[in-house]
Structure 1
Amino acid sequence: MATDNPMRESETPETAPRSGRALVIPRFGGPEVMEVRDLPLPVPQDDEVLVRVHAASVNPVDYKTREGQFPPVGEAQLPAVLGRDLAGTIETFGTRAHYMVRHGDPVFAFIDFDRGAQADYVIVKAIELCAIPDGLDMTTAAAIPLAAMTAWQGLFDHGGLQSGQRVLIHGGAGGVGQFAVQLARWKGAEVFATAGPDDQELLRDFGVDRAIDHTSERFEEIARDVDLVFDLIDGETRARSWGTLRQGGILVSTVSEPDQAEAARHGVRAAPRWLARPNAAQLGEIGDLVANGTVKVRVVQTFPLDQAAAAQQAQAEGHVSGKIVLTLV
C-alpha cells in the first residue's frame, strides 16, 4: 500500500456520505429479526481506517450469531451488525494510519467480532487488513479472509501440520474445507478429504490425494495413521475419527470442544476449542497464494445486501460447495 498520502481525515470532502446501510440484528431469532438500517458513519481513530465495503462474505457464524449461538456476541452486544470479512476501498483513516494507506486503496480484511462487515462502511484496524493483490476482484477477495484463515490457523497454528505428514479433512468441499485441502497440499502434506458424491471431482481438482465419498466409503478404512484430523463436521464423524490418528496425532475441530478424555483413551491429542483470529500477516500470505494460482477460490452464489436472509438460508440449509458473498457496490 502507499507510503505517501496527500489526504488526511480532516480533508474528507464535504460531499462524503454521513451514513450507510448495515445488516443489523436488534434481537436474537430467525431470519425475520434482521434489518437493513441506515447508520451514522463511524469515525476511525489512531491506526484505524474506514473502509467502503464492496463485498462481504457470508459464513455459518452469521446465522449462529443471529440465533444467539455465538458466545462472544450476547444480549449486551445487541444491536449488532453481522459479518466478519470484507473487501472494499479506503474511505478515511485515523491519525496514525496515514503512513500506510491512501484514499481509494483496495483492501480486504478479517475483522474481530466487536464490529460487523455486512455494511456499506466499517472500521478496520491496521492489523486486520491487507492490500488486495493485483488481479483479484472484490467478490473473490471478500470470500477469502475468515474461511481461509480458519483453515490456516486450524492446520498450522493449532494442528502443527508439516510437510510429509498425513491429514484427514472432513467437509473438504465446504467453505473452510476447500481452503484447508489446498493449503495442506501447498504445505506438502498427504491429504485425505471427505465429501459427498457430487464433490469428489472438485476435491481431486484441488489436489486431494484421496477423495472419500462419505456416503459410500468408510473413511477410517482408507485414512490410517494420520497425523492430523481437521474436523469440520462433528458428531458421529468425529467419534469415528479418533481411530484414524497415529499415536500422538492430533484432532482439531472448528465446531465444538473435543472430548479430552476420549483423546487420551486413544493415545492422541485434541486441540481445545478455538476461534479464528485476525492476522494480517497470514492474510497477506494467503492472498498471495490466491493471486499466483496456488489456492483457488470458488464463489458459488452472490446476493445483494437486502437479500441477506436468502443468503443465510442458502448457507444454513443448503449443501454449499464454496463461498456465498453479499455484494454492496
Structure 2
Amino acid sequence: MKALVFKRYGKSTQPEFADVPRPAIGPDDILVQVHAVGLNPIDNMIPKGTLKPVLGFDLPATIGSDVAGVVAEVGSSVKRFKVGDAVFASVFDLGRGTLADFVAVPESIAAVKPVSLDFVEAASIPMVGLTSWQALKERADLKPGQKVFIPAGSGGIGTFAIQLAKHLGAKVGTTTSTGNIDLVKGLGADEVVDYKRQQFESVLRGYDLVLGTVRGDVIEKSLLILKANSVIVSLVGPLDAAFARARHLNAALRFVFSLMSMKIRRLAKRRDVGYSFLFVRPDGGQLAEIGSIIEAGGIRPVIDKVFPFDQATQALAYLEAGRAKGKVVVRLL
C-alpha cells in the first residue's frame, strides 16, 4: 500500500511516498481504509526529532495522527465495530501513522463517525477535539461562567477549543489578526484582541484559565490576565517533571524537564497560578462524546484547505507556514 513516510530524524528530513506492507491487526484492532487525514503541527515536528526522547517510532515511519475512514477488517475480540462502519480516531502516541491507504486502529480509541459529517470534516476533529476536551474539561474542570483565554483563535486548536468552551458555558477571550475577527466571533469568542494592534495582556483581565497554544512569551504574559487560584494548561511546553513521571521517563529527563519549566512554574506560583503541560492521549469514549455534541449542533468543523493524497507534502508545508484558518486535511478517497 502507499504511505507517506520519513526514514530518518532531522531538521532537513523530507517525507516521501513509499510502498509499505498493509498493517496486520491484532485481536483488539480494526483495520481502517483511510478516506481522509486531518493534519496537526505535531505531524511536522515528529520527523524533525523534536519529540524523539518522548515519542518512539520504528523507521521508516508513517506520518499522520488523525483519521476518518471505513472499517475493512476487525480483530477476533472486537465487539463495537463491524466491516463497513464509518469511524474516526487519533492514533497519536501509538507509534503508527495515518497518511496511508490503511491503518490499524485499536478498538478502544475509535468512535463512530458523526452522521452529519463527511469524512474530510470528521478527519479534522480527533486531535483538536481530544486536546480541547482533556485540557478544558478533564484537566481544568472548566465551569459555566468562568473565563478562559485561548490565544490564536483562528488556528486548528483555537477554532475547536473556543466552541467547546462555549458549549461548557464559559466566556472566551482570544487573539487573532484583523481579517479573522469575524471568524472567531462567529465561533463564540466574547473578547477578541487584534494582536497586530493591541497587546492582549494590556486588555484582558480576570481570567480563570489559559490554554497555552502559542510558543514564545505568550504563556508568561498571560499570567498578567489571570486571577489568583487560576490555571494554565499548556499544549506547547515547556514540558514539566509531572509529564516525565506520567510517561515513566528516566531520572535524567525528569530533571531536564523540571529545569525547562522552572521559570514559568516559579512565576506562576508567585501569582497563585497552577501550571501544567498536557500531552493528548487517544480516547474513543471521549471522541464519541465529542461526536454527540457535533451531532447536536454544538460544534462545527472549521476547515481551511483540503489537499489530495499525492499533495500531502505540500499540505504539511502549508500547515507549517502557520496561516491556516482552522484545519488542513488530506483526502485519500
Return the TM-score normalized by structure 1: 0.90
The question of whether the paired residues in 2 share the 8 Å contact of 1:81 and 1:116 is answered with yes
Deviation at 1:109, TM superposition (A): 0.5
The question of whether the paired residues in 2 share the 8 Å contact of 1:23 and 1:305 is answered with no
Question: Structure 2: how far apart are the matches of 1:30 and 1:103?
Answer: 40
Letter in 1 for 2:88: F
Q: Is residue 73 of structure 1 aligned with residue 78 of structure 2?
A: no
Residue in structure 1 matched with residue 84 of structure 2 by the alignment = 104
Residue in structure 1 matched with residue 304 of structure 2 by the alignment = 300
Q: Secondary structure of the equivalent of 1:66?
A: helix
Question: Structure 2: how far apart are the matches of 1:170 and 1:135?
Answer: 29
Deviation at 1:141, TM superposition (A): 0.3
Q: Is residue 37 of structure 1 aligned with residue 18 of structure 2?
A: yes
Unpaired segments ≥5 residues, structure 2? 239-260
Deviation at 1:31, TM superposition (A): 6.9
Residue in structure 2 matched with residue 6 of structure 1 by the alignment = none
Question: Structure 2: how far apart are the matches of 1:163 and 1:242?
Answer: 21
Deviation at 1:151, TM superposition (A): 1.3
Residue in structure 2 matched with residue 53 of structure 1 by the alignment = 34
Question: Structure 1: how far apart are the matches of 2:50 and 2:99?
Answer: 19
The question of whether the paired residues in 2 share the 8 Å contact of 1:41 and 1:121 is answered with yes
Q: Secondary structure of the equivalent of 1:150?
A: helix
Q: Is residue 212 of structure 1 aligned with residue 193 of structure 2?
A: yes
Q: Is residue 24 of structure 1 aligned with residue 24 of structure 2?
A: no
Q: Is residue 245 of structure 1 aligned with residue 226 of structure 2?
A: yes
Deviation at 1:322, TM superposition (A): 0.7
Q: Secondary structure of the equivalent of 1:141?
A: helix
Change in Cα spacing, 1:32 to 1:235, as seen in structure 2 (3 Å) is closer
The question of whether the paired residues in 2 share the 8 Å contact of 1:228 and 1:245 is answered with yes
Letter in 2 for 1:269: G
Question: Structure 2: how far apart are the matches of 1:274 and 1:186?
Answer: 21
Residue in structure 1 matched with residue 281 of structure 2 by the alignment = 277
The question of whether the paired residues in 2 share the 8 Å contact of 1:22 and 1:39 is answered with yes
Deviation at 1:153, TM superposition (A): 1.1
Change in Cα spacing, 1:31 to 1:291, as seen in structure 2 (3 Å) is farther
Report how many residues are paired. Answer: 307
Q: Secondary structure of the equivalent of 1:251?
A: strand
Question: Structure 2: how far apart are the matches of 1:148 and 1:275?
Answer: 13
Note the 1:311-326 alignment, pairs <5 A. 311-326=315-330
Unpaired segments ≥5 residues, structure 1? 1-19
Q: Secondary structure of the equivalent of 2:117?
A: coil
Return the TM-score normalized by structure 2: 0.89
Q: Secondary structure of the equivalent of 1:276?
A: coil
Q: Secondary structure of the equivalent of 2:280?
A: coil
The question of whether the paired residues in 1 share the 8 Å contact of 2:303 and 2:328 is answered with yes
Note the 1:3-14 alignment, pairs <5 A. none
Letter in 2 for 1:321: K
Deviation at 1:186, TM superposition (A): 0.5
Letter in 1 for 2:207: V
Letter in 2 for 1:108: F
Question: Structure 2: how far apart are the matches of 1:217 and 1:104?
Answer: 51
The question of whether the paired residues in 2 share the 8 Å contact of 1:86 and 1:142 is answered with yes
Q: Secondary structure of the equivalent of 1:28?
A: coil
Q: Secondary structure of the equivalent of 2:196?
A: coil
- CA RMSD across the alignment: 1.5
Deviation at 1:30, TM superposition (A): 5.4
Deviation at 1:295, TM superposition (A): 0.6
The question of whether the paired residues in 1 share the 8 Å contact of 2:5 and 2:17 is answered with yes
Q: Secondary structure of the equivalent of 1:171?
A: coil
Deviation at 1:308, TM superposition (A): 1.6
Question: Structure 2: how far apart are the matches of 1:185 and 1:140?
Answer: 20
Residue in structure 2 matched with residue 119 of structure 1 by the alignment = 100
Question: Structure 1: how far apart are the matches of 2:234 and 2:269?
Answer: 16
Deviation at 1:70, TM superposition (A): 2.1
Question: Structure 1: how far apart are the matches of 2:156 and 2:231?
Answer: 22
